[in-house]
Amino acid sequence: MYKDKLNYKLLNILILFTIIYLGIITFDYWIGIISRIFNLVLPFVLAFIIAYALSPIIRKIESKGVRKKLAVTIVVVVIVGIIAGLLGLTIPLIYDQLISLSKSMGTIVGDMSKFFDIDFNEYQATINTYLNDLIGSVGRYISNGLFNFFSQSVNFLTKFIIVAIVSIYFMADMENIRNNIKLFLKKRNKRAFMLIRNIDHELGHYLEGLTIFMIIQFFEYSFLFWIVGHPNWILLGLLASFTTVIPYFGGWITNIIAVILASVVSPQLFIATLIICFIFPNIDGYIISPRVYGRTNNVKPLWSIFAVTVMGGTLGLFGILFALPTYLVLNCIYQFFREDIKTKMDKN
């Protein structure tokens, strides 16, 4: 009698609101626990992501007859060497060029005034003030940055070392991990196995497209800066290639550095560099990138920009780096369950 009168939908709603209320009043307690767990797990997650991203390169090297341990060693040494070389060359070079720019600012402003037929003299003092402040900031960073970094960022350094070491172990054992996951899912849940396989294919295609785009960026910008006579064309080509992993914002890093370095050489090179930095990123974004990723992934520009904005705003640089892979995973999951969702909606 009472069972027929019991409204289970209302009961479920009340239980849901009760859970939400309890979650709100104990939010500080749970967020502390979640934050600690997240900080403990994050280095291992990042290590796995790095190993997963580099595993296709290792497999390619292995296909040439190289042993796995040697292949992993080659990949690690090359990546560490490139990153260390870029940082070691770029930071001192920018600092030296900023000092040269400050000393020759009067000449540059005069040449630009003649070229554009505009009087910049009233702005010269303001430009020099901002430039000197920027040089002072860069100098303080270089002189005190390492000391502050080591004295105040022990926790970050520890996590960085853990990520580096664990990622090497993951790289060495990635094939076994992949095979074990496949066997486990095949035995337990074939549908889950199909979903993970689709995600794996989607991410593999993304990494393939990213690699192709990085190679294109290197040759494109190396050639462009070489043809206009930029003295640092190889460095800028490498920077353009590696900053490609930061979607939409990575190119600005290379462009700013290119303009600063060109400004101390000649007004003609400065103008040519500005033209390159304004025109070719648009060609990359609207022509080359869609063609490359269109062949590997169906990346919709609007959703990818939304993903970069949201994840960048919530997780900072890590969010920007993983925005596109996250979008691809979520889109793959939606496409996999789309028919199920549509069927349930039609029934309701």
Q: What is the pLDDT of residues 15-61, one digit of tens each?
A: 877 877 777 777 777 777 777 787 788 888 888 888 888 888 888 88
Confidence of residue 119 (pLDDT cuts 50, 70, 90): low
Residue 133 backbone phi and psi in degrees, to 5: -65, -40
- Report yes or no on 171 lying in a domain: yes
Other Cβ atoms within 10 Å of 171 Cβ, number: 25
**What pLDDT, on a 0 to 100 scale, did the predictor assign at position 59?**
84
| Whole-angstrom distance, CA of residue 206 vs CA of residue 53 | 10
- Report yes or no on 149 lying in a domain: no
Query: In the predicted model, what is the mean pLDDT of residues 149-171?
Result: 72
The torsion of the CA quartet 308, 309, 314, 315, rounded to 10 degrees, works out to 30
- The listed range with the strongest mean pLDDT (42-51, 59-68, 172-181, 217-226) is 217-226
Number of independent structural domains in the chain:
1
Domain containing residue 171: 154-182
| Least confident range of 68-77, 143-152, 190-199 | 143-152
- For the cut 60, the answer to whether the pLDDT of residue 106 exceeds it is no
Residue for token pair 């028919």: 339
Amino acid at 345: M
**What pLDDT, on a 0 to 100 scale, did the predictor assign at position 135?**
56
| Whole-angstrom distance, CA of residue 247 vs CA of residue 297 | 15
**What pLDDT, on a 0 to 100 scale, did the predictor assign at position 25?**
78
- For the cut 80, the answer to whether the pLDDT of residue 287 exceeds it is no
Output 63 or 307, whichever has higher pLDDT.
63
- For the cut 50, the answer to whether the pLDDT of residue 96 exceeds it is yes
- Report yes or no on 163 lying in a domain: yes
CB 160 within 8 A of CB 50: no
Average pLDDT, the chain: 75
Helix intervals (H) in the chain:
2-5, 8-25, 27-62, 68-103, 105-116, 121-152, 154-188, 190-227, 233-242, 250-263, 267-283, 289-296, 301-321, 323-347
- Report yes or no on 304 lying in a domain: no
- Report yes or no on 175 lying in a domain: yes
- Report yes or no on 284 lying in a domain: no
pLDDT in tens, 248-273: 667 787 888 888 778 777 888 888 88
- Report yes or no on 314 lying in a domain: no
- Report yes or no on 307 lying in a domain: no
Q: Residue 172 is encoded by which pair of tokens? A: 């060495």
Closest CA to 222 of 242, 248, 245: 242
Closest CA to 242 of 86, 51, 88, 91: 86
